[in-house]
Amino acid sequence: MLHRLLSHDLPRSRVLAVVLAAITLALAFAPFLFPGIKAMDVAAKILIFVVLAASFDLLLGYTGIVSFAHTMFFGIGAYGIAIASTRWGASWQALAIGLAGALAVSFVLALAIGLFSLRVRAIFFSMITLAFAAAFQTLASQLSEVTGGEDGLTFKVPEILSPGFQLLESPLLGVDINGRFVCYYLLFVVAVVLLLAMLRIVNSPFGRVLQAIRENEFRAEAIGYRVVVYRTISSIASALFACLAGAMLALWLRYNGPDTSLSFEIMMDVLLIVVIGGMGTVYGALIGSAIFLVAQSYLQDILRLGSEAASSVSMLSALLSPDRWLLWLGLLFVLSVYYFPTGVVGRLRERSAAKELKA
């Protein structure tokens, strides 16, 4: 059953299987294992970025396409929910309309980018997608009547998802079963379903053609596959999954603005997550998101404790200052790339394969 559920793409490493199971269980029971608003917020963002990073890996890792417009579709999904909820109120109907509209816009834009840009060389395609992303971010900032401009949009969600809603009068295992709790598990179920759907895609005949195009575009063309068609379909699928991730973000935050979902910083974060987890592995999105977001969220707290502990040594205390957390995050990234050049998933699978050969 598990073999079919994972589309016959098992971890192929005992250590990797344990790590994936541990992260999945931690996310499944996060509200109970890690009480507190910040911990739940980090867990929810991991779920959102798992979908976003996996959708980007569908382009980069499986098709070999470098696109800088991925956060544009992420932002479209978030704005779709925000605009619809602002105009039609806190209802499931508004959410459905916003999501449908965002998916339709993402489909049209991804198709346009695919048809007009995927015929050019890789570097020119990347520059075109970057231009699209910059133009859309500028547009979102200026259309204040629709998008709220730089201030963004704050909106209400259906009552069952709002923090003030109480599903149970008394706490369960010390946790309030409120709208925030319900919203978290909605995101969890959606993230699991979308991740399994992407696993199915990359392990289907269509996914194998994408990998063939990544390895040798000319050979794939020579044996009869229309490369532009497959790349365009891959771009559309990736855009739609990114759009759904954006909708998840807006639903969780109940707010969206240009810096929240369209910033270039998010694009860089996604790229780092994919590289850390391992390109061409959907599992890498789960591991990379967990590592990156936990480090990003708690590195300052860890450095603060270290700085206080080393207060007697002024130089060391200054080096461990929480203000230098970006420096340490960059160092962690460099070390992870050095010791895991194929990502965590790739490295663990290589070790497992080497052990099997020796045996």
Range of the domain at 97: 2-358
CATH number for position 176: 1.10.3470
For position 359, what pLDDT does the model report?
Answer: 60
Q: Band of the pLDDT at 2, cuts 50, 70, 90? A: low
**Mean pLDDT value of segment 206-232:** 83
CA distance 60 to 124: 15
Task: Show the tokens assigned to 96.
Answer: 């459905």
Neighbours of 107 (CB within 10 A): 16
Q: Band of the pLDDT at 252, cuts 50, 70, 90? A: very high
CA distance 344 to 335: 12
**Mean pLDDT value of segment 93-116:** 91
For position 48, what pLDDT does the model report?
Answer: 96
With a cut of 90, say whether residue 114 has pLDDT above it. Answer: no
- More confident: 335 or 85: 85
- More confident: 1 or 163: 163
* H-helix segments, the chain: 2-5, 14-28, 30-33, 37-63, 70-88, 92-117, 122-142, 144-147, 179-202, 205-215, 217-222, 227-253, 258-261, 264-277, 282-309, 314-319, 325-339, 343-358
- Least confident window among 158-162, 192-196, 337-341: 337-341
Q: Band of the pLDDT at 121, cuts 50, 70, 90? A: low
CA distance 142 to 354: 55
Percentage of the residues of the chain whose pLDDT score is greater than 90: 31
Q: Band of the pLDDT at 119, cuts 50, 70, 90? A: low
Per DSSP, the three-state class of 14 is helix
For position 298, what pLDDT does the model report?
Answer: 84
For position 82, what pLDDT does the model report?
Answer: 94
Answer yes or no: are the C-beta atoms of 64 and 51 closer than 8 Å.
no
Render pLDDT for 29-75 as a digit per residue (tens, 0 to 9): 999 888 888 889 999 999 999 999 999 998 888 888 888 888 999 99
- More confident: 116 or 137: 137
In this structure, is the dihedral angle defined by the CA atoms of residues 273, 276, 282 and 286, taken in order, positive or negative? negative
Domains identified in the chain, total number: 1
At a CB cut-off of 8 Å and minimum separation 6, what does 23 contact?
286, 287, 290
- To the nearest 10 degrees (0 to 180), the angle between helices 37-63 and 179-202 is 10
With a cut of 70, say whether residue 215 has pLDDT above it. Answer: yes
